[in-house]
């Protein structure tokens, strides 16, 4: 999908389609009113007689309107103007893009970017338009024998800005939105790839391909013997039950000179059966998404490299498969982590925190300024927050607040949960320094408490994306979150 930014009057656009909004009840947006004036009131007459009410998501496609230079005009319902907020804007943009794609308009000029969204400026509207369009047209048919292609798909959208002096702002926002959208696309592709293809070795190969694409990225891996020499007992314990060899993947982006890096650590369980503590069979196919933390790290690094941000970022991905063969780790086993701390494994399905423990300790050698880990860590997060928000916990309030702000601005929202010392009591063990689970209550928080024991020397935050990383039902698939949140955080941190 190609995007451009342009200023100009809608009635003068030589395009396959011009897209404008209609507010409820039956009121044209400013751009729509200009088209109506050019048409001698033809559009408003259609609206008055009931062809278009303006309800959110309603559409009406008009052809060959006199007084205009475009082939078609697409009217999109925006709901009530005073209620036009973030989610409504994304919804009407999605509706417009899908309609254009389905009706043969291979290119279009959209004036939806000029709509008055509450509390949002032009840059936000352009950025969101690009990202929403990418998301709406996403397809993953790599494993289908026949692709479901559109005959005349939408290929180019020109986004309107009010004046020529707005072009620079619009182009920056467009470029940022496109980089985020492509990072999300990569993360969705990785997540949607089935576990018999997406193995730890395959994930490492995708990281190397990303490094080949961007010269500022360097990629290295540790295999099982190297991890054994380092003493990564927790990570290796999870990998014991699988024939797939574990990988510790490191991707370094060097754009900030000698500055201390931000380290992103992404859980990469390419398939999670639960191990000996095996999961129920229903819905287990979705456990291929247990590597969406890893996918989010790679998607974010792709966006950072595309934008050439002036900062240093390190991505660390512990990649394993959690399976229940005769060599698998058992409930009651005790392992020694890279930090030297010991863990009694009470539940082998709480494996993500084990591999993250060693990866977070590994992160210390980069002397990071901040560390953020992202993981589909706990079902309790889905119970607490549903699929709308990721959970965030951390030991450094300014970092947590920056992530929350990035979530609000990007639309990839997060919600803070407490990390109080009292919750640490749940991890007590009679036989090791700690247990890997703390019981049913406050499951997301006690998982965060476990990770906090490996981050005491660092400014750290944890994103639990168990509810936000994928959706189920007829639209089942990876979402690519939290790439938008993390990229926006890094853009703001870089000052760009």
Which residues are the active-site residues? 279, 353
CB 424 within 8 A of CB 391: no
- b/e string for 319-352 if b means 16 or more Cβ within 10 A? bbbbbbeeebbeeebbbbbbbebbbbbbebbbbb
CB atoms inside a 10 Å sphere around CB 418: 10
DSSP state at residue 10: G
Cα-based distances in Å from 268 to 209, 309, 377, 379: 17, 25, 11, 17
CB 208 within 8 A of CB 215: no
CB 219 within 8 A of CB 250: yes
What's the maximum distance between 2 C-alpha atoms anywhere in the chain? Answer: 83
Pairing type for strands 18-23 and 27-28 reads: antiparallel
Q: Which residues pair with 157 in a beta bridge?
A: 3, 108
* Token reading at 476: 């089942």
CA 160, CA 158: separation in Å to the nearest integer?
Answer: 6
In this structure, is the dihedral angle defined by the CA atoms of residues 397, 398, 403 and 409, taken in order, positive or negative?
A: positive
DSSP secondary structure letters along 196-229: TT--HHHHHHHHHHHHHH-TTEEEEEE-HHHHHH
CA 475, CA 466: separation in Å to the nearest integer?
Answer: 17
Cα-based distances in Å from 326 to 159, 244, 276, 330: 58, 14, 9, 10
Cα-based distances in Å from 68 to 11, 26, 104, 386: 5, 21, 19, 47
């Amino acid at each position: 999908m190609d995007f451009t930014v342009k200023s100009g009057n809608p009635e003068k656009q030589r395009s396959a389609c011009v897209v404008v909004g209609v507010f409820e009840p039956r009121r044209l947006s400013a751009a729509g009113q200009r088209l109506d004036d050019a048409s001698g009131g033809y559009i408003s007459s259609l609206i008055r007689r009931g062809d278009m009410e303006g309800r959110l998501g309603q559409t009406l496609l008009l052809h060959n309107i006199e007084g205009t230079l475009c082939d078609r005009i697409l009217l999109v319902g925006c709901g009530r103007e005073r209620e036009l907020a973030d989610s409504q804007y994304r919804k009407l943009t999605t509706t417009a893009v899908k309609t254009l794609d389905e009706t043969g308009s291979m290119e279009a000029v959209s004036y939806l970017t000029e709509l008055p969204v509450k509390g949002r400026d032009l840059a936000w509207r352009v950025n969101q338009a690009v990202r929403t369009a990418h998301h709406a047209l996403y397809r993953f048919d790599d494993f289908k024998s026949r692709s479901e292609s559109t005959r005349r798909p939408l290929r180019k959208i020109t986004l309107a800005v009010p004046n020529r002096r707005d072009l620079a702002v619009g182009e920056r926002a467009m470029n940022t939105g496109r980089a985020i959208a492509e990072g999300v696309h990569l993360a969705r592709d990785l997540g949607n790839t089935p576990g018999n293809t997406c193995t730890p070795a395959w994930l490492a190969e995708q990281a190397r391909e990303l490094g080949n694409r961007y010269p500022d990225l360097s990629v290295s891996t540790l295999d099982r013997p190297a991890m054994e020499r380092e003493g990564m007992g927790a990570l290796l314990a999870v990998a014991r039950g699988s024939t797939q060899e574990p990988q510790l993947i490191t991707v370094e982006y060097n754009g900030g000179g000698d500055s201390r890096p931000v380290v992103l650590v992404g859980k990469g369980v390419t398939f999670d059966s639960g191990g000996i503590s095996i999961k129920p069979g229903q819905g287990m196919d979705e456990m291929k998404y247990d590597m969406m933390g890893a996918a989010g790290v790679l998607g974010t690094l792709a966006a950072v490299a595309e934008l050439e941000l002036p900062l240093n970022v390190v991505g660390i991905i512990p990649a394993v498969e959690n399976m229940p063969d005769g060599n698998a780790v058992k409930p009651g086993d005790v392992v020694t982590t890279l930090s030297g701390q010991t863990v009694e494994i009470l539940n082998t399905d709480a494996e993500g925190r084990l591999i993250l423990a060693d990866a977070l300790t590994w992160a210390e050698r980069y002397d990071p300024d901040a560390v953020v880990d992202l993981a589909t860590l706990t079902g309790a997060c889905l119970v607490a927050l549903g699929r709308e928000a990721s959970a965030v916990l951390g030991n450094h309030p300014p970092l947590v607040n920056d992530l929350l702000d990035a979530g609000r601005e990007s639309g990839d929202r997060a919600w803070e949960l407490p990390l109080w010392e009292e919750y640490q009591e749940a991890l007590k063990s009679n036989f090791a320094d700690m247990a890997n689970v703390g019981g049913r209550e406050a499951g997301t928080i006690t998982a965060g408490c476990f990770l906090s024991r490996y981050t005491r020397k660092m400014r750290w935050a944890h994103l639990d994306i168990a509810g936000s990383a994928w959706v189920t039902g007829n639209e089942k698939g990876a979402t690519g979150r939290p790439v938008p949140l993390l990229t926006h955080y890094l853009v703001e941190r870089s000052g760009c």
